[in-house]
Structure 1
């Protein structure tokens, strides 16, 4: 289909209101809706304008012109895909400008309890698309072409795909009134608090979902379903809000899963050329999820086009290719990104029962034609030896028609164990950098976390290397050395250092609360006492905002200490510290 005729996408005002000049305020009626979605967009194809943003709902949500343009272009398959009927896919765009909607306390609470890989994106939007193209003689071009797009900061691809499957077909038939009713229903949903199983009513159906928590065990599977006795109709249970069918996504590359895992771990640039946005976006999301529980810290675009505002940035030859995974459908990218070290081209997906034909490893030098055949074009040599038993087990399962969810569980567990085995020595060494608890005293500044020395860590591998928990052999030292240069090491280290610093601060607060504060105050000046009050209050606020891992008993004692200390001060200072 046409990607426009030279004209950029335009904003066509819909029946739900004109564009707004300001984002929603924290106390606005759409606060609950905002916990799940930023907005809902409808993109249509206008014969004169090309892709046009028909409406944004709620109508007062603010999008910049660049964001509108990106949403318009990314909501339609390009002309190389030829998608007829209904298709779903997703994209991810950079937010332009500063943050426009203040985050609520609930947002921060949800993020603090969520796995790091599932926290909401502060600088990017996800777009979840349901696109329909069908013949329609009443339309001048002969085709009805429209996309319904859910824009969110949450990476809950399975949930939002299920939601679109319910809403989009109905919307394409009934249009705006249906969309208003759905948004009103979403505005009644409970917040996505980690660890909870929620019932989400929409259009006469109840979606039952579990919101993942840091406390969940990775291999335990979804929690038990809630009782259905009082729910009519019975809920549609989603086993995951975010996990894709890994086996289906990786079918053509099962022989190279470990190589792709290493490329992702090391933050290597990878171009994925697929026959459709659906295949492209699922492959990119599957690749970026295979490092869990490690957060994917590089940029990634499940679906990307030549019209994207970052096109020049990603395709420049004046510097090394950026650490990004790009999903595309236009073969033009093969020529444009010839200098990229890794390109994965996948063909049309096979029927579910067929044994997958594995793409072959090929040299990047063979990429110079636009009709490049499917293959993984790379000169990369893996550091770890391939686990051939995994491939044999998966292929045997396909031959025996083993259920897809069982096969996916085998593959997911293998990738999880691979990542955990790799991270285990890093976690062990990082824990050794934490000061001893006996060195934390109440009235002195807490000691600093010791620095991370890469050479010391590599020497420690002799005692705590992954060979203790993983059967894979290979050049582990080489893999860690390259990992230290990747964005994922920086992201992992910053996150762990932050958590350790918070733990150190919590232990210091506990030490203060266990000490005899009245004895300490005897020889202290008013300035020192006031300084203690301010510091205790600051830590109390951080702890209540779930930024410090502190027990409730410690919080109560801290409040009591603050009251005691303020009560010992002159009346004029008490008025300043506790205004009426």
Structure 2
């Protein structure tokens, strides 16, 4: 029967269980670093009550940051259950990256790569009145710490694990962690069924080779059938709801994020700030946001002084804050987003589009809006706003509004990036110039002025109806880490492709004939070059054809045999 068929990944999981190389908690660490329980102690304030698995070590600074970020700010009065997420810097000199994350990073979209220097924390906080406690309130958080930016998945996961822990205590947390330790490795392209506490979460891990359309994921919501939850996305957040009160200015925000400007998001709840900051970071996908960002940030953070100093310009970071103290501390920041409660569509343009006097931003009661003097490079696309406003009037489902807005951002980003990709391709040497008897060809360096000369005739206007100073936007983009991150990634990919083409040329040439009239030193040089190629092939097996490797190995064996015995011995050692 179909129900009894064993999915491939489950079979793989069983094979892993039998393998002596898989240790307890190995598969757990592929997904989650640890689970923490943070409680309120009358003498200590927020304190770490539990870290599971118990062998996981966190530094004192990491523990302190997790504790302070695991509770909503005291002024927000969040009664009941509250969910949000944060991101903190990992202390230097810690354990190297998880081994499985290296192969995952190679094949996943760059926006979903495992973080080497940061942890994400996914929080489920409960606050209820309790007369048996001296303070009168039960206040506790369950937090999942991970290096993977799987916001939708881990938010769903903590919403299953935390209530069970609050009802049944530590044994339920142990049971949940043991369930996660049975999960298969996250492999891009795989659809996985992940059992957790009697239910199953089904999710697909995106792959770098996926065609990006913007319409494949309907929404970051969930579809539930008995004991089975299907997540339409691993990582996407509800961007429509996050931006609902500031929708007339989403294009301005897209430009600010694209060029890496400092932005602070102020709201009354960490649920709102974390959703909005994550939506900002995601709005330039498939381009990776390469600056720092903190979905929720408090005055107790170890980097508070670094981010709030007035002695220098604000750092290029996106901060989400809830404490009214920040309204005064960060009023010198150039771009401030004030988010009201999720609800009504937009606010009056006057309240949104003008930088208020400093005094008007001293409290979090300021009107929702974008407070900035930034002048956009591009004209506003009024069609997208009309479409969304019509959808709101017709009570179109949030999932559909979300898909429309995400598609809009994707098209803007693609229109901006296509000319850059086209120019990058022009920097590659012609394939006919790749010689097996010379070193691999190199990519020509990126010349910003040369690229800008192409914008007038083959720029974004070919795919976008939005008019404006695209050239000025590119100039600002070239000065920010988002460009550096993209260029470094593309440079790596193109150089890898050139290595593969050079390897193919080498494997297809008649090397036996070539060495007939060559000196020993030239032959040894060729042997070293082939060995280098074979090493490259073993490190990049996903992009190298097996036939090329086999031909090179045969060439190597033949060439070595043609050498004198004493030299053969040296070469083989």
**Would you call these one fold, judging by a TM-score over 0.5?**
yes
- 2:150 alignment partner, one of 156, 177, 180: 156
SS at match of 2:296: coil
SS at match of 2:139: strand
Residue 218 (structure 2) pairs with residue 191 (structure 1): no
How far off its partner does 1:338 sit?
Answer: 2.1
The unaligned stretches of length 5 or more in structure 2 are 1-20, 219-224
- 1:201 alignment partner, one of 195, 205, 210: 195
Distance 2:345 2:449 in 1: 46
Query: Where does residue 57 of structure 2 map in the other structure?
Result: 62
8 Å contact from structure 1 (residues 75, 131) kept in 2? yes
- 1:408 alignment partner, one of 384, 402, 413: 402
How far off its partner does 1:99 sit?
Answer: 4.1
How far off its partner does 1:522 sit?
Answer: 2.9
8 Å contact from structure 2 (residues 434, 505) kept in 1? yes
Distance 2:541 2:89 in 1: 27
Distance 1:99 1:539 in 2: 33
How far off its partner does 1:520 sit?
Answer: 2.9
How far off its partner does 1:271 sit?
Answer: 0.7
8 Å contact from structure 1 (residues 269, 340) kept in 2? yes
How far off its partner does 1:555 sit?
Answer: 2.4
Change (3 A) 1:139 1:570: farther
8 Å contact from structure 2 (residues 97, 116) kept in 1? no
How far off its partner does 1:558 sit?
Answer: 2.7
Query: Where does residue 176 of structure 1 map in the other structure?
Result: 170
Residue 422 (structure 2) pairs with residue 428 (structure 1): yes
Residue 155 (structure 2) pairs with residue 129 (structure 1): no
How far off its partner does 1:61 sit?
Answer: 1.6
How far off its partner does 1:236 sit?
Answer: 1.3
8 Å contact from structure 1 (residues 341, 364) kept in 2? no
Query: Where does residue 263 of structure 2 map in the other structure?
Result: 270
Residue 216 (structure 2) pairs with residue 255 (structure 1): no
- Describe the superposition over 1:291-349 as per-residue Cα deviations: whole angstroms up to 9, x where unpaired: 00100011100000111111111112222211100000012112112221111111222
Distance 1:561 1:524 in 2: 16
Change (3 A) 1:44 1:410: same
Query: Where does residue 389 of structure 2 map in the other structure?
Result: 395
Distance 1:126 1:144 in 2: 25
- 1:74 alignment partner, one of 55, 69, 75: 69
Residue 356 (structure 2) pairs with residue 361 (structure 1): no
Distance 1:421 1:368 in 2: 37
Query: Where does residue 237 of structure 1 map in the other structure?
Result: 230
- 1:108 alignment partner, one of 93, 102, 110: 102
How far off its partner does 1:530 sit?
Answer: 4.5
Query: Where does residue 90 of structure 1 map in the other structure?
Result: 85
8 Å contact from structure 1 (residues 367, 377) kept in 2? no
Distance 2:272 2:337 in 1: 12
How far off its partner does 1:561 sit?
Answer: 2.9
User: Number of residue pairs matched?
Assistant: 544
CA RMSD in angstroms comes to: 2.2
SS at match of 1:148: strand
Distance 1:484 1:421 in 2: 16
TM-score by length of 1: 0.89
Change (3 A) 1:172 1:389: same
SS at match of 2:124: strand
How far off its partner does 1:401 sit?
Answer: 1.1
- 1:37 alignment partner, one of 21, 29, 32: 32
Distance 1:472 1:220 in 2: 19
Change (3 A) 1:87 1:536: farther
- Describe the superposition over 1:448-487 as per-residue Cα deviations: whole angstroms up to 9, x where unpaired: 2111111111111122111110000111111111111111
- Describe the superposition over 1:506-531 as per-residue Cα deviations: whole angstroms up to 9, x where unpaired: 11111111111212333445554444
Change (3 A) 1:571 1:85: farther
Change (3 A) 1:196 1:221: farther
Query: Where does residue 349 of structure 1 map in the other structure?
Result: 342
SS at match of 2:209: coil
How far off its partner does 1:570 sit?
Answer: 5.0
State how 1:10-29 maps to structure 2 within 5 Å: 28-29=23-24
How far off its partner does 1:541 sit?
Answer: 3.5
Distance 1:454 1:504 in 2: 22
Change (3 A) 1:577 1:141: farther
Higher helix share: 2
Query: Where does residue 20 of structure 1 map in the other structure?
Result: none
- 1:480 alignment partner, one of 474, 481, 489: 474
TM-score by length of 2: 0.90
Distance 1:537 1:175 in 2: 57
Query: Where does residue 553 of structure 1 map in the other structure?
Result: 547
Distance 2:356 2:549 in 1: 60
How far off its partner does 1:414 sit?
Answer: 0.4
Query: Where does residue 506 of structure 2 map in the other structure?
Result: 512
Residue 354 (structure 2) pairs with residue 380 (structure 1): no
- Describe the superposition over 1:52-91 as per-residue Cα deviations: whole angstroms up to 9, x where unpaired: 1112112112211111111111111111211111111010
How far off its partner does 1:447 sit?
Answer: 2.4
Change (3 A) 1:308 1:264: same
SS at match of 1:120: coil
Change (3 A) 1:34 1:571: farther
8 Å contact from structure 1 (residues 293, 416) kept in 2? yes
- 2:43 alignment partner, one of 41, 44, 48: 48
Query: Where does residue 13 of structure 2 map in the other structure?
Result: none
SS at match of 1:362: coil
8 Å contact from structure 1 (residues 114, 194) kept in 2? yes
8 Å contact from structure 1 (residues 206, 233) kept in 2? no
Distance 2:180 2:142 in 1: 16
Distance 2:217 2:139 in 1: 40
Query: Where does residue 313 of structure 2 map in the other structure?
Result: 320
